Amino acid sequence: MHEKNVNSYFFSTDKSKLQLDVIHNYLSKESYWAQNMPLNLIKESIAASICFAIYFENKQIAYARVITDNATFAYLADVFVLEEHRGQGLSKELMRFIMDYPSFKKLRRFMLATRDAHGLYKQFGFNALAKPETMMEIKFFESYDN
């Protein structure tokens, strides 16, 4: 388990502490990438990922997850800090916490997709794809509205 304290905030990878209602509410109602995502899919994504969260007064106020083989590759997803806790540098602290995760030190490639937070991720070494022509995807559907 990976944990740390910063001021009054507690950071943890302990999945038993995750507050599913907070995660589901944000992802399905407030995020641009997971609108209407069903709770059962969120539970499945948590089970198959390393999850990172920040707590304030025992309430979850931030979340991110990493899909990884813990050896060569990782993909950062579902990063958020609740609105009322923004502007305090918590997204940077969350990224430091993620990047300090022991098994991530040996990764060959760490990827993410973002529409609006390039500046944050650039501070941690993320850049636009060097050779985007080598990347491919299958996109089975556009949204969870179905």
CATH number, domain at 38? 3.40.630.30
Residues 85-131 have pLDDT tens digits of 999 999 999 999 999 999 999 999 999 999 999 999 999 999 999 99
- Indicate the DSSP class of residue 114: -
In a domain, residue 106? The reply is yes
Q: How many domains does the chain have?
A: 1
In a domain, residue 144? The reply is no
φ, ψ at 143 (rounded to 5°): -150, 170
Rounded distance between C-alpha atoms, residue 1 and residue 13, angstroms:
6
- Give the pLDDT score at 142: 85
In a domain, residue 143? The reply is no
In a domain, residue 140? The reply is no
Name which residue leads in pLDDT, 142 or 61: 61
Start-to-end CA distance of the chain, whole Å, equals 37
In a domain, residue 72? The reply is yes
- Give the pLDDT score at 7: 85
pTM: 0.94
| Token pair recorded at residue 77 | 């997803």
Name which residue leads in pLDDT, 99 or 4: 99
Provide the residue range defining the domain that includes 10: 3-134
Name which residue leads in pLDDT, 1 or 114: 114
In a domain, residue 142? The reply is no
Residues 23-32 have pLDDT tens digits of 999 999 999 9
Distances (CA, A) of 108 to 16, 127, 135: 29, 14, 16
In a domain, residue 75? The reply is yes
Portion of the chain with pLDDT greater than 90, in percent:
90
In a domain, residue 141? The reply is no
| Token pair recorded at residue 137 | 């995807």
